[in-house]
Amino acid sequence: MRIDVLTIFPSMFEPVLGESIIKRAVNSGKAAIHLHDIRDYTTDKHRKVDDRPYGGGSGMVMAPQPIFSCCDEVVRKIKVAKSKRSIILLSPRGRCLTQKSAARLSKMKHLVLICGHYEGVDERVGRSLADEEISIGDYVLTGGELPAMVVIDAVVRLLPGVLGNASSAQNESFQEPSLEYPQYTRPAVFQGKKVPAVLLSGDHKAIDAWRRKEALKVTRKRRPDLLGR
């Protein structure tokens, strides 16, 4: 998969892309992530990428021209069928990212992530350039960079061969419409707290049954809305 990120803060991505599973996915050629500084595409002589909102109001709005120019260049260079590409505007007004939408995006060949800033992005970017708008939750962040990194992480770890153990992704929270069962590791007793005996029994049928029951229990308690879906 190829991912192009359009941002005014490309350096924010380096620490995240250079570590752990994403780094491995990039090094093994399963994901290629390219960062583009939106300022490099502005026609403004002061490299301005924002302007005052029409109709008044506080703050500044990211102008459409540099974003359209940058995105057009990326799309022209990377020739992928439209059905295999998604141009995504990160926005608190978008549809909330879920495990299901991350799985859908992981089947694409090319993602373009547009990070907004200031008071947001000129509406024409969302309406005429982006295929979809994605939010990472019902709160407002300063910019689209952290949301873009969340999308990248959620999607890249689902690419075939990226996780060391393919079954890890299948047993996780949200894979079923439920949360994951409790996990324990050594020692069997820590500060007097014991690991449930069934997990030490070696009886895999009993372990599976216990895990299903515990997953249901924690979901019912913390996220009953998932069970209704």
Ligand X SMILES: C[S@@+](CC[C@H](N)C(=O)[O-])C[C@H]1O[C@@H](n2cnc3c(N)ncnc32)[C@H](O)[C@@H]1O
Closest by CA position to 3, among listed 32, 38, 36: 32
C-beta separation of 165 from 198 below 8 A: no
DSSP H or E run through 69: helix 64-77
126 near ligand X (CB under 6 A): no
Identify which range of 134-142, 157-165, 166-174, 203-211 contacts ligand X by CB under 6 A. Answer: 134-142
137 near ligand X (CB under 6 A): yes
Q: State the Cα–Cα distance between residues 205 and 21, nearest whole angstrom.
A: 31
Sole binder of ligand X in the list 105, 111, 112, 121 (CB under 6 A): 121
Sole binder of ligand X in the list 64, 143, 177, 182 (CB under 6 A): 143
* Binding to ligand X in span 147-186, by CB under 6 A: 147
Residue 28: how many CB atoms within 10 A of its CB?
11
Q: State the Cα–Cα distance between residues 114 and 101, nearest whole angstrom.
A: 17
Number of residue whose CB is nearest ligand X? 116
Q: State the Cα–Cα distance between residues 60 and 54, nearest whole angstrom.
A: 10
The contact mask relative to ligand X for 69-98 (x = CB under 6 A, - = no) is ---------------------xxxx-----
Q: State the Cα–Cα distance between residues 68 and 38, nearest whole angstrom.
A: 10
Sole binder of ligand X in the list 83, 139, 165, 189 (CB under 6 A): 139
C-beta separation of 170 from 208 below 8 A: no
State which amino acid sits at residue 48: K
135 near ligand X (CB under 6 A): yes
Q: State the Cα–Cα distance between residues 48 and 64, nearest whole angstrom.
A: 12
Sole binder of ligand X in the list 98, 128, 142, 168 (CB under 6 A): 142
Sole binder of ligand X in the list 141, 198, 218, 226 (CB under 6 A): 141
52 near ligand X (CB under 6 A): no
Q: State the Cα–Cα distance between residues 192 and 136, nearest whole angstrom.
A: 39
Q: State the Cα–Cα distance between residues 49 and 207, nearest whole angstrom.
A: 56
Bridge partners (DSSP) listed for residue 134: 95
115 near ligand X (CB under 6 A): yes
Sole binder of ligand X in the list 119, 132, 153, 176 (CB under 6 A): 119
The CB-of-118 to ligand X minimum distance in angstroms stands at 6
Instruction: Closer to ligand X by CB, 50 or 178: give it.
Output: 50
129 near ligand X (CB under 6 A): no
The CB-of-122 to ligand X minimum distance in angstroms stands at 10
**Footprint of ligand X (CB under 6 A):** 90-93, 115-117, 119-121, 135-137, 139-144, 147
